[in-house]
Amino acid sequence: MEKIIITEPTFIPLKPNDKGLIGIASVVYNNSLSLNCISVYSRPNGDLRLVFPIKVLPNSKEINVYYPINKETYEAIRKAIVDKYLEITVSIADS
């Protein structure tokens, strides 16, 4: 399996809502694909969960725009986003 390289993580904080949405993130996958509009949710135990974009068709059917097809890829993306989230929240807390 090819080594997974996740770079250029971004995290845009949002005002948390009742469903746990705390921000929107993006990353670059293997220096060749930009993955944008990743929703970041806070779980009750404090862990972060990623939700990848969907498209709602006129007939109300939902289709995935993109998503990781294995746990290793999901975890690599999640780690990069969590690291960026922690970097931002620590810098906000320190100021």
Domain boundaries, the chain: 6-94
Q: Average pLDDT by consecutive 10-residue portion of the chain (95 residues)?
A: 91 91 97 97 93 97 96 97 92 64
Q: What is the largest CA-CA distance in the chain?
A: 48
Q: What's the Cα-to-Cα distance from 54 to each of 65, 67, 89, 90, 92, rounded to whole Å?
A: 5, 9, 27, 31, 31
CATH classification number, 6-94, choose in 3.30.365.10, 3.40.50.2000, 3.40.50.300, 3.30.1120.40: 3.30.1120.40
Q: Which pLDDT belongs to residue 61?
A: 97
| pTM (predicted TM-score) | 0.89
Q: Which pLDDT belongs to residue 93?
A: 62
Q: Which pLDDT belongs to residue 1?
A: 63
Q: Which pLDDT belongs to residue 2?
A: 78
Q: Which pLDDT belongs to residue 94?
A: 63
